[in-house]
Amino acid sequence: MASAPSTRSLLIVNAATLAVALGLDWPAATLMWPYWIQSIVIGYFSRKRILALGRFSTAGFTMNDRPVSPTPATQRSVANFFALHYGFFHFCYFVFLRQRFAQLDAWDWLGLAALAISFAWNHRFSYEQNVEADRRGTPNIGTLMILPYARILPMHFTIMLGSALAGEGPAVVLIFGALKTAADVLMHLVEHRILQRAAAPATT
């Protein structure tokens, strides 16, 4: 299974996140920060993947209610629109986090930096697998733009659940982390299956 190595690495970085949270005695709500960072990393590699396409389909995809052709101009427009929309969503999320959960010390920021590096490593690995699959087929650029949202929405729902819990102690952190990891891995597998099926070469 092509996604198995990236799934294992995803499990590793989620376990590392819980280890950092327990080591720094974070409440469940503080875990919203590393998972926000992970979502940013997902968006970065999603845009990078769109721009890396050698060939792609625009079947069923429209911009301003008009069908578009699979041209480099369309590719750049889709990538830029995605970056603007996805980035604005996460900017609003950042403002929310700063207002409610801004009390982080130097060790917390160091832990977040280490986790950001681990998320980047994991998603770069997944990105390289996906790009290789894209080269073997003709993926739909509209699918590539939409699926990151399907990937992060269950994750952010779990984040909001953790915010509602906002409890202290390792038990709450472990429960929250386990729920988030399950949602993350499930959507990771769904994403890989859909995208790699879309990237499969057409038969004649």
Per-residue confidence of the chain (204 residues) as pLDDT tens digits? 446 777 888 888 889 999 998 999 888 778 888 888 998 999 999 999 999 998 899 988 888 888 889 999 999 999 999 999 999 989 988 888 787 666 788 898 999 999 999 999 888 988 888 888 888 888 899 888 988 887 777 666 766 665 565 556 677 788 777 878 887 788 777 777 766 665 555 443
Q: Is residue 35 part of a domain?
A: yes
Q: Is residue 174 part of a domain?
A: yes
Q: Which two tokens stand for residue 94?
A: 């950042």
Q: Is residue 203 part of a domain?
A: no
CA distance 175 to 18: 10
Total residues found in the chain within this entry: 204
Count of domains for the chain: 1
Q: How confident is the model at residue 199, as a pLDDT?
A: 52
Q: How confident is the model at residue 154, as a pLDDT?
A: 66
Q: Which two tokens stand for residue 90?
A: 């996460």
Q: Distance between terminal CA atoms of the chain?
A: 25
Site of tokens 């690995």:
125
Q: Are the beta carbons of 84 and 168 closer than 8 angstroms?
A: no
Q: Is residue 56 part of a domain?
A: yes
Single-letter amino acid code for the residue at 34: P
Q: How confident is the model at residue 203, as a pLDDT?
A: 44
CA distances to 38, 46, 198 from 143, in Å: 21, 11, 8
Q: How confident is the model at residue 204, as a pLDDT?
A: 38
Domain boundaries, position 102? 4-198
Q: Is residue 140 part of a domain?
A: yes
Q: Is residue 204 part of a domain?
A: no
Q: Is residue 96 part of a domain?
A: yes
Q: Is residue 173 part of a domain?
A: yes
| pTM of the entire predicted model | 0.84
Q: How confident is the model at residue 193, as a pLDDT?
A: 73
Which runs of consecutive H residues, i.e. helices, occur in 65-105?
72-100
